[in-house]
Amino acid sequence: MVANPRMVADNDEVLIQPIQPAFGAEISNVDLRHPLPPATFDKIRSAFIKYKVIFFRDQDITTENQVDFARLFGDIQEYPVFSSAENPAIQGLKSKYARADIWHTDLAWLTRPPFAAVLRSRVVPDVGGDTMWADGERAYGNLPDDLKSRIDELYLVHDSSRIGAHYQSGEERERRLTRVRELRKEYPMIAHPIAPIHPETGRRYLFVNPALAESIVGLSNAESRELLARLHQEILRPENTLRFRWSKNAIGMWDERRTLHYGVYDYGDQERVMERVIIAGRDIPSW
C-alpha cells in the first residue's frame, strides 16, 4: 500500500493527517487508555498548537482516561452552569438539551478564558450531529490592513447572561436562564481584546463570540453590530471552517481561544450523547 502523502509519521508511529494546511488534523496510532510517553505527548501538543483542532477516532476510553488526558495540558475548569454530579470535571451533553447550534466559544466571559476543550462521543446519530469549527487566526491574517488597524486595540464585551438565549422554549431554557441570572452576580460582564496575541504562537487571532458578545467598548450599538457582523462574516468564510463527522468513541480537542465551534442540530429525535472536559486558561487575553 502506498503511504498517504498528507500523513506525517515518525519513528514512534504517531500519524498526523492534516485536514487543512494549518487547521484541523486527525491523529492515529495513539491509545488514550494508557499513559502517553513524553515524546508522544510532545508530538500531540505540537500538533494541537499548529492545527488548533485535533481528532482521535476509536478511543474506547473511560471518563477517567478522558480527564487524565486533558490534565496533561493543564488544570481542569469546572463549568459553572452545569456539570456531572458524579464528576464535576465532566459536562454531559445530551441530545436536544445540549444544543449548541450557534457559533460560540466556551466560557469566554471568564477573566482567563479556557485553554482548550476535549469532547468525546458516546452515542452518535446514524446521520447528522456533526460539529463545525472556524479558524480565528487565519481569519485575522486575511483581513485587510485597514480593518486590522481599526480593531487591534478594541475590546469586546462578553456576557454570561446570554447563555441559552437562543433556546426558543421549554423547561430546560428557563432552568438555564435562572442559573445564568445567578451567575451574573459572580461573573459580571467582561471585556477582552477583539484581536489578542496568542501566547504560544505570537500571532493575533479574532476573539469574537456571536453567542455571548454584542457590544464593543467605545462604539455605539449600531457601530458595534455593523463591525461585529463584518468580523463574523470574515471568520465564517468557508475556507476558514471545517466540519467533523462524529463516530462512536471519537475525540475532538480544540483551542478555545483561536476557534469558534457550532453543533449542527439536524438529527431530530435521534440520540446524541457527548462528554466534555474543559482545560483552564492561564492567560488573560492581551496584545
* C-alpha cell of residue 179: 442559573
Dihedral sign for Cα 33, 36, 37, 39, please. Answer: positive
Domains held by the chain: number:
1
- Residue type (1 letter), 203: R
Q: Of 143, 158, 165, whose CA–CA distance to 208 is shortest?
A: 158
CA distance 5 to 17: 9
Report the pLDDT averaged over residues 130-150: 98
The answer to whether 182 and 146 are in contact (CB under 8 A) is no
Owning domain of residue 54: 15-279
Query: Does the pLDDT at position 4 exceed 70?
Result: no
Does residue 267 lie in a domain region? yes
Does residue 42 lie in a domain region? yes
What's this model's pTM, rounded to 2 decimal places?
0.90
Does residue 184 lie in a domain region? yes
Q: Which residue in this structure is represented by grid cell 505527548? A: 41
Does residue 284 lie in a domain region? no
Q: Of 213, 206, 264, 250, whose CA–CA distance to 109 is shortest?
A: 213
* C-alpha cell of residue 143: 483581513
**Residue 84 confidence (pLDDT):** 58
Quick: pLDDT tens for 236-281: 999 999 999 999 999 999 999 999 999 999 999 999 999 999 999 9
Does residue 7 lie in a domain region? no
Query: Does the pLDDT at position 212 exceed 70?
Result: yes
Q: Report the CATH number that the domain containing residue 34 is assigned in CATH.
A: 3.60.130.10
Report the pLDDT averaged over residues 217-245: 96
CA distance 255 to 103: 14
Q: Per-residue confidence at 171, pLDDT binned at 50, 70, 90?
A: low
* C-alpha cell of residue 75: 488544570
